[in-house]
């Protein structure tokens, strides 16, 4: 996958454009502000990061780490202006976590599609939230991870 293809993958979704808009489905758990996010060490957040790493390690093991890191870095640079990203911040800054999660999600989907590998349904569910302009910021443990209601969203 080239940097041009990364830009094309990014162009397929309008990230973060509808974070605070209404959601008609009452089964969707929401947070209403960045400050409401539970943080990266919450089990319901950590499971998303661990699952992304698992997908990358198992389905994309042939992708060199330096190439992956460059893709993620480029993606973050291209998208961080869409949210209150803090260049001096870390994963505890909700907007930073949102951008990094978007990078992993969109890039994993793009790379899997590029390699003609089936995209796991839970990754598709996250991707769909990002494509709707939302941030699937945590798992909702009372629902399946491949369902829209399987995520808490901003």
When divided into structural domains, the chain yields a total of 1
Per-residue pLDDT tens listing for the chain (154 residues): 666 666 676 677 889 999 989 998 888 999 999 999 999 999 999 999 999 999 999 877 888 889 889 989 999 999 999 999 999 999 899 999 999 999 999 999 988 888 898 999 999 999 999 999 999 999 998 888 888 889 999 9
DSSP code per residue over 121-134: HHHHHHHHHHHTT-
pLDDT value for 114:
84
Per the rule left: phi > 0, alpha: psi between -120 and 50, beta: everything else, 136 is beta
Reported residue count of the chain is 154
Give the per-residue pLDDT at 144: 85
What's the domain range around 8?
Answer: 3-153
Strand pairing partners for 29? Answer: 152
Distance, in Å, from the CA atom of 96 to the CA atom of 92, rounded to the nearest integer, reads 8
Pairing mode, strands 136-139 and 151-153: antiparallel
């Amino acid at each position: 996958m080239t940097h041009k293809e990364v830009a094309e993958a990014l162009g397929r979704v309008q990230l973060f454009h509808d974070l605070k808009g209404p959601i008609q489905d009452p089964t969707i758990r929401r947070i209403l502000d960045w400050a409401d996010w539970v943080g990266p060490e919450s089990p319901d957040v950590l499971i998303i990061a661990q699952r992304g790493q698992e997908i990358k390690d198992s389905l994309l093991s042939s992708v060199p780490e330096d190439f992956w890191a460059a893709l993620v870095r480029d993606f973050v640079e291209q998208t961080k202006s869409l949210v209150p990203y803090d260049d001096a911040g870390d994963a505890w800054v909700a907007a930073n976590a949102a951008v990094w999660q978007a990078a992993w999600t969109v890039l994993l989907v793009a790379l899997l599609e590029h390699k003609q590998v089936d995209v796991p349904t839970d990754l598709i569910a996250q991707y769909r939230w990002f494509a709707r302009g939302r941030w699937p910021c945590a798992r909702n443990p009372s629902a399946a991870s491949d369902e829209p209601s399987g995520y808490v969203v901003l």
